[in-house]
């Protein structure tokens, strides 16, 4: 596996914000991730929370825009945020549209060529990255949570629902909650996974939660002023499926908030406290 290469580090709220690069076996190329190390990590291993970003984002988006470090430092949480897709080698047409390909890996393991060779973000997030983090940073292997925004909210819900043994907590900001039923999801799944709709179900949080609930409570914040709410996000589909399976869900519709990071900043501390409670 080896060790990640430190690109930069910055003192932050008594801890340190770092940026790393490493050679990934899953995506067969270089990957970057950010890591906020809280001050408590100087005295021992701490719980670790993985954040998955949305369309067009990178590993820098979350640490710069979320304002999460102060609360994470107080709660003793390590924050890890990976990039949203492979960056090299480049593939033909990978940047033709903003909602597919470059910066839009959708946290799936692609099965259609040429994407299948490199776009393996699901396995990267759920296996390779946690193994790298726990081997090289002061992160507790037994206390991991996951959350994310939009495309990353979709990814976080799917990763947690499919890997309850790895993740003890989960939450999301404005997730693409039923990707099989929205234009973003249909486009990504068709191109990454092909025409067999049954294979799509493993990457649809609404389908997954209807089958088997997550052991802990799920927190979702969604702005009512979000321009993507009605067509792309569909939280009501997830809520209905959760009710069927008995999933504990706190879906909070936040009046007038939009899809951006001012919304995320506003409720970030609530999410970090939610995870801290579950991770002990």
Six-digit token string for 71: 């609360």
Catalytic residue flag (residue 142) = no
Residue 208 · residue 202 · CB < 8 Å: yes
Six-digit token string for 40: 């408590």
Alpha helices in 147-234 (DSSP H): 151-162, 183-193, 197-200, 205-211
70 is written with which tokens? 């102060």
Q: Among the options 109, 226, 271, 274, which is catalytic?
A: 226
Residue 100 bridge partners (DSSP): 97
Of 174, 179, 272, 177, the residue nearest 223 (C-alpha): 174
196 catalytic? Reply is no
Could you give the C-alpha distances from 93 to 6, 42, 216, in angstroms and in order? 31, 45, 40
The stretches of 6-150 forming alpha helices (DSSP H) are 61-65, 69-75, 121-123, 129-136
Q: Is 150 a catalytic residue?
A: yes
In the block, residue with structure tokens 């037994």: 142
Please say whether the beta carbons of 162 and 212 come within 8 A. no
Catalytic residue among 24, 53, 66, 150: 150
3-state DSSP call for residue 251?
A: strand
Strand order through the sheet with 15-24: 5-12, 15-24, 29-37, 78-82, 46-52, 139-149, 169-173, 218-223, 249-254
Annotated catalytic sites, by residue? 150, 226, 259
């Amino acid at each position: 596996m080896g060790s990640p290469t430190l690109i930069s580090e910055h003192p932050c709220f008594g801890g340190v914000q770092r940026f790393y690069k490493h050679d990934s076996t899953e995506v067969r190329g270089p990957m970057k991730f950010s890591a906020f190390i809280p001050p408590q990590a100087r005295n021992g291993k701490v719980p670790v929370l993985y954040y998955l970003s949305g369309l067009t984002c990178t590993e820098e988006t979350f640490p710069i825009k979320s304002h999460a470090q102060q609360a994470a430092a107080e709660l003793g949480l390590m924050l890890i945020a990976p990039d949203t897709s492979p960056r090299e080698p480049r593939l033909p047409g990978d940047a033709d549209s903003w909602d597919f390909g470059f910066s839009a890996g959708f946290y799936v393991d692609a099965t259609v060529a040429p994407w299948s060779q490199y776009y393996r973000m699901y396995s990267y997030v759920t296996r390779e990255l946690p193994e790298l983090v726990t081997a090289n940073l002061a992160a507790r292997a037994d206390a991991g949570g996951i959350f994310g925004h939009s495309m990353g909210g979709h990814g976080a819900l799917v990763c947690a629902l499919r890997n309850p043994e790895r993740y003890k907590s989960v939450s999301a900001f404005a997730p693409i909650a039923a990707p099989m039923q929205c234009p973003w999801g249909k486009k990504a799944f068709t191109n990454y996974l092909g025409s067999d709709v049954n294979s799509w179900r493993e990457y649809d949080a609404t389908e997954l939660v209807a089958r088997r609930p997550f052991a802990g409570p799920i927190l979702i914040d969604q702005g009512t002023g979000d321009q993507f709410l009605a067509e792309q996000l569909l939280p009501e589909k997830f809520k209905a499926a959760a009710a069927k399976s008995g999933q504990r869900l706190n879906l909070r519709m936040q009046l007038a908030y939009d899809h951006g990071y001012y919304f995320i900043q506003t409720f970030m501390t609530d999410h970090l406290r939610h995870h801290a409670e579950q991770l002990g």
